[in-house]
Amino acid sequence: MSLLDGHVAVVTGGSSGIGRGISLAYAEAGADVVVCDIREEPKEGGRPTHETIESETDASATYVELDVTNPAAFEDAMDAAEAFGGVDVMVNNAGIWRPEEFLEVTEDEFQQMMDINLKGVYFGAQAAAKRMVETSGGSIINVSSVNGIFGNGGYPSYTASKGAVRTLSYSLAHGLGEHGIRVNAVHPGAIKTKIGPEEMETSDEQTAQLEQMIPLGRQGEPDDVAGVAVFLASDLSKYVTGESLVVDGGWTSWR
């Protein structure tokens, strides 16, 4: 594939899970990738994402340690992209998830969720857009969740943060379109990653029950989301902006 030849992508949360899947798919499609995360090693184990890209594809990659709650830190990622030619694809993927009891959520717990899941997206998009304005365009992809579309009483803070990412994406698409910058949201469903607390890993029985609710009969893999991210980064979607693409095996279609 060469859909992304000549493109330079910055991916937050790129060391593990969905972010790793997107980073690898971008490299396979020809893009150079700046992998950003607070940790270099994948949670799933194995070689770091940027090293895998460099050894298994023809693309170039580098790792930048980045805490998305610090807006100033995004400049390091943008500068790293300049070494490859400048960012034209920004994937705001970094996030956290945990179940909560609404009546017991503290202000600090709520703020942590918003700082990572929403503030990180907001200022990641801003940092990339400033560079993209100078180079006449690009694609910003914000990873939300199916919980950003419908409410879930078991994850009130997470749902609030992801719903905000959805509408923020619409606002940015409207405001940045005149600069040739497209902004879209991706809403994954049940994807096999290690985003949640270790103690929340599901049993085989729970997994079977979950998969019974998904029309395609299985949980998603990171590369299921990555394929959509490649589409949104490429010229195949050059007239697509301000959209939400749901990647959930049909789970939300009958809710």
**157-205 confidence digits (pLDDT tens):** 999 999 999 999 999 999 999 999 999 999 999 999 876 665 456 677 8
Establish whether 158 is a catalytic residue: yes
Establish whether 239 is a catalytic residue: no
Q: Do 37 and 19 touch, CB atoms closer than 8 A?
A: yes
Torsion angle of alpha carbons 124, 127, 133, 139, nearest 10°?
-20
Confirm whether pTM is higher than 0.85. Answer: yes
| 170 belongs to a structural domain | yes
Residues 46-102 pLDDT 10s? 999 999 999 999 999 999 999 999 999 999 999 999 999 999 999 999 999 999 999
Structure confidence at residue 205 (pLDDT):
83
The active-site residue out of 16, 23, 144, 169 is 144
Domains in the chain, number: 1
Establish whether 192 is a catalytic residue: no
CATH of the domain at 238: 3.40.50.720
Structure confidence at residue 38 (pLDDT):
97
Range of the domain at 117: 8-244
| 3 belongs to a structural domain | no
Residues 90-116 pLDDT 10s? 999 999 999 999 999 999 999 999 999
| 249 belongs to a structural domain | no
